[in-house]
């Protein structure tokens, strides 16, 4: 029990710090995304900067909302004491994921690393949407354990941006790869981690069920 509470607190700390970082960086420190856009070279599509920035603001807002609502719904105390709030919060999470996927789909063609990165983002979005819908289907069928497991898989994708930048930093700064190539590797490396880590967690830490 204590181990579960500690794990949740650790997850909460990471999620809250990342949400604060994303909001401060994208809305206060660098609202024009100049640092991020400086790496985008050789784009085959002309970038409509005002439109792209507006979509990015929406993307970041709903990504943070998805991370916050997902975290809240993993609280066993909330589930036990107020199932209605848990349910409403869950639907808010699903809507947030949908907006993140849609905005990401708009930005994907302009992804750093070119077409290969764009394809990776689209693939990631489809997988995340499929996993999230599966979690919804499972709870509609009253399969609590399966719903929880699919939600663990879905929530992992809230950390996609963090994982991409960690992997790309490893290859760019650690191994000396070109930034664009490192970013493309980061996209696919992150996708692999986001599929493997929650599966390992479900099979080792959480009780499996059918």
Write out pLDDT tens, residues 6-47. 788 999 999 999 999 999 999 999 999 998 888 876 676 788
Three-state DSSP class for 190?
Answer: helix
**87: in domain:** yes
How far is the C-alpha of 166 from the C-alpha of 183, rounded, in Å? 10
**160: in domain:** yes
How far is the C-alpha of 131 from the C-alpha of 202, rounded, in Å? 14
**35: in domain:** no
Q: What confidence tens digit (pLDDT) does each residue in 104-120 have?
A: 999 999 999 889 999 99
Task: Output DSSP code: residue 112.
Answer: T
**8: in domain:** yes
Q: What confidence tens digit (pLDDT) does each residue in 121-150 have?
A: 999 999 999 999 999 999 999 999 999 999
Contact 92, 105 (CB under 8 A): no
Tokens encoding 106: 């708009």
**194: in domain:** yes
- Specify the pTM: 0.92
Q: Mean pLDDT score of the chain, rounded to an integer?
A: 92
Contact 125, 187 (CB under 8 A): no
Q: How many domains does the chain have?
A: 1
Instruction: Please give the C-alpha separations between residue 104 and each of 56, 60, 140, 147, in angstroms, as whole numbers.
Output: 8, 10, 28, 25
Tokens encoding 189: 């490396």
**Percent of the chain's residues with pLDDT above 90:** 80
Helix, strand, coil % over all residues of the chain, rounded to 5? 85, 0, 15
**41: in domain:** no
**39: in domain:** no
176: left (phi over 0), alpha (psi -120 to 50) or beta: left
How far is the C-alpha of 172 from the C-alpha of 72, rounded, in Å? 35
The answer for residues whose C-beta is within 8 angstroms of residue 127's C-beta and 6 or more apart is: 157, 191, 195
Q: Domain range for residue 165?
A: 2-30+46-204
């Amino acid at each position: 029990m204590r181990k579960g509470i500690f794990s949740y607190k650790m997850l909460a700390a990471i999620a809250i710090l990342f949400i604060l970082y994303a909001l401060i960086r994208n809305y206060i420190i660098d609202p024009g995304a100049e640092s991020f856009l400086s790496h985008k070279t050789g784009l085959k599509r002309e970038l409509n900067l005002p439109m792209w920035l507006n979509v990015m603001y929406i993307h970041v807002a709903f990504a943070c909302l998805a991370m916050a609502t997902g975290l809240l719904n993993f609280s066993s105390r909330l589930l036990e004491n107020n199932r209605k709030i848990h349910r409403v919060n869950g639907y808010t999470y699903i809507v947030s994921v949908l907006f993140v996927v849609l905005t990401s789909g708009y930005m994907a063609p302009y992804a750093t690393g070119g077409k290969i990165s764009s394809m990776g983002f689209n693939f990631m979005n489809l997988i995340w949407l499929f996993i999230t819908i599966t979690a919804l289907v499972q709870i509609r069928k009253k399969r609590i354990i399966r719903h929880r497991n699919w939600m663990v898989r879905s929530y992992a994708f809230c950390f996609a941006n963090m994982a991409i930048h960690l992997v790309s930093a490893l290859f760019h700064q650690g191994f000396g790869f070109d930034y664009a190539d490192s970013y493309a590797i980061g996209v696919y490396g992150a996708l692999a981690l986001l599929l493997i880590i929650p599966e390992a967690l479900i099979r080792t830490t959480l009780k499996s069920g059918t």
